[in-house]
Structure 1
Amino acid sequence: MDSRLDNAPCGYFSITDAGIIREVNQTLLNMLQHDNPELAGLHVESVLSVTNKLLFHTYFYPHIQLYGQVNEMYMSLRTNSGGDVPVLLNGIRRTRDGESRIDIVVVEMRKRIEHEKDVLQTKVKLQELYQATNEANKRLELLNEEYERKQQELMLINSRLEAMATTDPLTGLRNRRYFQDHLTTLLAKHQDSGQPLSMLIIDIDHFKHINDTYGHPIGDIVLAKLAELLQSMSRETDIIARFGGEEFVAILPETGKEQAVDIAEALCRATAATPMDDYRITISLGVATAEVGETNGTLVKKADTALYASKSGGRNRVTHAGDL
């Protein structure tokens, strides 16, 4: 870790989506009374009280999965000696080296706010329940059962948020992750049933020129407008997704070579004839139809090779991999 970040005037740590701490700076270690980076590798719950675990799971995780960041969250961290440190917490979700990470900055708060008082009161009540008589222990068991039920509900909410995480925010189409997962599923069905399966890779011609000439905001408008057109012309069973940059993909279940080429050519013509706001574009398409023993990688590669042939052949055209 960079020495400036390690000794920054605020605490810092990063966790995985599963809650495992990967990095922690010296400032946070000092704040939590730890002498060395022993927190790395532990679960984030190791620095949270029971009450704050509930707060973290019911607010922080769902919010950062949905919006990608959390700002000004007030809570308490647990020190090595068992004490509490009131903090202001900001977090943001990023992908580094192929792994999703949540970076969290922690600022110690000297004055407790009303929200923190409520959390502390809840903590006291939980401690009283743990220290009570047999009757109170029975009540605590009921509380734990309720907590487990809420955890199950939370897992359901998180799964819904995960579905939202498979949507491209700019175009509203499915993203590359969703495409790859469903291509695997549909290829398996194709191998079992023998029903045809085709896919398209769609690339905007000279898109770099649009960005360089008119700016990225105009490029974003063109991407969004093309996404609307592709979605409007798709069938209910088709899956249209943004593959990355100016490339889109379409999975066409129960679609053979000739029908897939017809669909691709219709998209090519419609794009050339449809204004994208105040701009006109054309697209090049590569088409591939699955064969016996096909995999995600081989099918995508064939479609990509066909797209390259369309680009090399003059653009604004359709090429099927089987014709190469």
Structure 2
Amino acid sequence: MIKVEENNIEHNKVVNYSLDSFPCGALVTNSARVITYINSYFTKQLLWQPNDLIGKSVDVLFTLSSRIFFQSYLIPTLLHEKVCEEMQLIIFHADGRRIPITVNASLRADGGISWSLFNASKRDKLYEELIKTRETLEIQAEKLKLLASTDELTELLNRREMKYRSSLMLEQAARSHYSVSLLMLDVDHFKKINDTMGHLEGDRVLKKLGQLLKDFGRKTDLISRFGGEEFLIMLPDTTQSDTLLLCRRLHKLIAEIKVGDSSLSVSIGVSICDEQISFIDLFTQADNAVYKAKSRGRNRTEIYLDNS
């Protein structure tokens, strides 16, 4: 009998030594959630004294939110599954600091619980860094997407993006049975502006016009510098009379842009569709209309007609 007791004592010493060498917290609670064992991790890393924990409820270690989680989820899971792994909880350091931990727990045959607790402070820091990195990458991706879809000078949609979005808008219009107007604006005598005043002045004029169109347009409109001195505006759900009214307003506003002693002017070609049509066909119609506006003296609006 004495020999058996000596063997048990030696066995416990070996177990305690082994648990004390673990780089994590080892904890045992009985069926009443009272702490019956802690390894040296609690005294060396968390600065708890054994008398402060042994014989005390495990609640002294955990924050309120962790105690609620412990009671509402961890205990029912242990009773059903006998084991819980990688639970995220928060415990108190002896000085009151809150320490995030990852917990593994298993139900013992006597109804108690064996716990292993891993400090997750560095993991949480790494997680925060990963989140920040992802946010940075998302911002950079958004910037690249913006650069790929906008004209550098005017910050309007570029040719490729305009064609893509316009096709989508025309498909939506066909499904919803509403009309779409496409305006093509071509700056009058733009080559003369570049030749007599220089390309910097030409760029200033284009940038000024681009800003005017951006301020003029509705949120639902698509506005693009389609190439050179050519701009496109696609107006969803807009009647012919409303489109012509918008064109008159545009002519008046654009005339406020001064080029030397003169006012800037544009020729506008309009194509309106109320049935399914491709962007290329609608664009060609607006292009024909703007050609007619230029041939009839410029600084005017012409609407494409089937018999024109």
Q: 1:156 aligns with which of 130, 138, 163?
A: 138
Q: Secondary structure at the match of 2:270?
A: strand
Residue aligned with 2:258, SS? coil
Q: Equivalents in 1 of 2:200, 2:137: separation in Å?
A: 37
Cα-to-partner distance string for 1:103-157 (whole Å, 9 max, x where unaligned): xxxxxxxxxxxxxxxxxxxxxxxxxxxxxxxxxxxxxxxxxx9999899767634
**Which one of the candidate residues 180, 201, 204 is aligned to 1:221?**
204
Structure 2, unaligned stretches of length 5 or more? 1-126
Equivalent residue number for residue 244 of structure 1 = 227
- 1:311 matched to 2:294? The reply is yes
Task: Find the counterpart in structure 1 of residue 258 from structure 2.
Answer: 275
CA RMSD of aligned residues (A): 2.9
Q: How far, CA to CA, are the matches of 1:305 and 1:148 in structure 2? A: 54
Amino acid at match of 1:313: R
Deviations 1:185-235, CA, capped at 9 Å, x for gaps: 101110100011111010000100010111101111111111122222222
- Aligned match of 2:160: 177
CA contact (8 A) 1:225 1:276 kept: no
Within 1, Cα distance between the matches of 2:254 and 2:304? 22
**SS of alignment partner, residue 179 of structure 1:** helix
CA distance in 2 between partners of 1:186 and 1:271 (Å): 26
Matched, 1:195 2:178: yes
1:265-297, Cα deviation, whole Å (9 max, x unpaired): 221222224425765221000011124230011
Distance in 2 (alpha carbons) for counterparts of 1:220 and 1:253: 29
Counterpart Cα distance in 2 of 1:220 and 1:198: 27
Note the C-alpha offset of 1:322: 2.5
User: Hey, what does 2:33 align to over in structure 1?
Assistant: none
In structure 1, C-alpha distance between the alignment counterparts of 2:130 and 2:251, rounded to whole Å:
53
- Pairing 1:256–2:239 present: yes
The change in CA–CA distance for 1:237 and 1:247 in structure 2 (over 3 A counts) is: same
Q: Secondary structure at the residue paired with 1:292?
A: coil
2:189 is matched with which residue: 181, 206, 218?
A: 206
**Corresponding residue number in structure 1 for 2:120:** none
Paired with 1:151 and 1:177, the residues of 2 have a C-alpha distance of 30
Letter in 1 for 2:212: L
Within 2, Cα distance between the matches of 1:254 and 1:289?
A: 10
Q: Where in structure 2 are the equivalents of 1:70-109 lying within 5 Å?
A: none
1:68-87 per-position Cα deviation (integer Å, ceiling 9, x unaligned): xxxxxxxxxxxxxxxxxxxx
Instruction: Return the alpha-carbon distance in structure 1 between the equivalents of residues 301 and 249 of structure 2.
Output: 10
How far the C-alpha of 1:158 sits from its partner, in A, is 5.2
The structure that has the greater radius of gyration is: 2
| Aligned mates of 1:260, 1:150 — CA distance in 2 | 47
Distance 1:230 1:276, change over 3 A: farther
Which of 254, 265, 269 is residue 248 of structure 2 equivalent to? 265
> Does the Cα contact within 8 Å between 1:203 and 1:285 map onto a contact in 2?
yes
Distance 1:177 1:229 in 2: 21
The answer on whether the counterparts of 1:268 and 1:283 sit within 8 Å (CA) in structure 2 is yes
Structure 1 spans left out of the alignment, 5+ residues:
1-144
d(CA) in 2 for partners of 1:159 and 1:178? 16
Aligned length: 187
SS of aligned partner of 1:322: coil
Amino acid at match of 2:249: A
